[in-house]
Amino acid sequence: MSADAKSLDDLRREIDQIDDSLHDLLIRRAAVSLDIAKVKQPANGAALASAMRPAREAAILRRLLARHKGELPPGVVVGIWRQIIAASLRAQAKYEIHVFGGNGQTAFLDLAHTYFGSAAPLRLHSRVSQVVNACAEEPNSLGIVPMPELEEPGAAWWSKLAVSGQVGPRVIAKLPFIVNGEEAVSAYAIGAIEQEASGDDTTLLVLEIASGLSRTKLRSLLKEAGLDANIVAAGRISEKNAPDEILAEVKGFIPKDDPRLKRLAEAAGDAVYRADPIGGFANPVVLAARR
């Protein structure tokens, strides 16, 4: 029967049946999520580090967007599933979200609710360093911090993040996950969670370089080592004659034992003191502009 031939009551009954089916599936999904938590931590319940899998979450959303069709906007699909994913995570592990809200900004609160769910417990902080410190003190905490400034006036907050394999918070996501070409506030999500490959990723490297090393030469060294990098921020260590700090976004998933990091160290010599991954993110989905 075509939609035109159906009465309004028929259509409403069909909506009710669809709603019941969706609800049944959500109940089933929540039960499976709890089963997953029991497999991960059968005795004590899953800690955040084992419960949250940002790469897996990104893969789910990309798969759904690839099969999506119809009039429901892709952003709505992502929003619905982010709420579902957040609720499942909340059932597996208890955590608190620390959000930068300096200068009366509320945009980061919106990003936190969109990514971590509308029911997530949030705490606002006036300084980015407070968010980083809170996440460092409590492993089951997550944070939302603004994108770094291109030129930091001193020791940068991102230099305090944990290196891959060490205890502490690192970058786990870049928000928003879905980008439609409009101007939007961006942020990093941080937490004590190791980066995993999602298939389309960016890794963040902190580099300490000799003060005389130019950005052009650094880019050349990174390229020679096979690292497709973009310098996003720079700071200076406060001690006299200490090296500069550079934050770079590198294309792809770069584990701490990646041979390209060794090649960089060998090629740079004393010009680069260290190059350490401090997390990264599954690359956000960029929607085609509507005509």
Give 46-93 pLDDT, tens digit per residue. 488 888 999 999 999 999 999 999 999 999 999 999 999 999 998 888
- The pLDDT, as a whole number, for residue 122 is 94
117, 120, 218 from 88: Cα distances, Å: 10, 12, 43
Q: Is the pLDDT of residue 22 over 90?
A: yes
273 Cβ contact list (under 8 Å, min separation 6): 208, 209, 210, 243
Q: What number is the average pLDDT over the span 30-54?
A: 77
User: Percent of the chain, pLDDT > 70?
Assistant: 91
Residue 78, pLDDT score? 94
How would you class 65 by CB atoms within 10 Å of its CB: exposed for 0-12, middle for 13-18, buried for 19 or more? middle
| pLDDT mean over 137-160 | 88
pLDDT tens, residue by residue, 88-142:
998 888 899 999 998 888 899 999 999 999 888 899 999 999 999 999 999 899 9
pLDDT of residue 102: 84
What confidence tens digit (pLDDT) does each residue in 219-266 have? Answer: 999 999 999 999 999 887 655 555 689 999 999 999 999 999 999 999
Looking at the chain, the whole-number percentage of residues with pLDDT higher than 90 is: 69
| Cα(130)–Cα(141) distance, integer angstroms | 12
* 178 backbone dihedrals φ, ψ, rounded to 5°: -115, 125
- Asked whether residue 42 carries a pLDDT value surpassing 60, the answer given is no
Q: What pLDDT is stored for residue 153 in this prediction? A: 67
Whether 290 shows a pLDDT value over 70: the answer reads no
Q: What is the pTM of this model?
A: 0.90
Q: What pLDDT is attached to residue 45?
A: 46
For the chain, the average pLDDT equals: 90
Q: Is 203 left (phi over 0), alpha (psi -120 to 50) or beta?
A: beta
Query: What pLDDT score was predicted for residue 105?
Result: 82
Span 37-41, mean pLDDT? Answer: 75
The gap between the terminal CA atoms of the chain, to the nearest Å, is 33
**Mean of pLDDT values over 201-216:** 92
Contact 121, 97 (CB under 8 A): yes
Question: 125-134 long-range CB contacts below 8 Å, 24 or more apart?
Answer: 125/98, 125/99, 125/100, 125/101, 126/101, 126/102, 127/100, 127/102, 128/100, 128/102, 128/157, 129/157, 129/160, 130/98, 131/98, 131/99, 131/100, 131/190, 132/157, 132/160, 132/161, 132/169, 132/190, 134/98
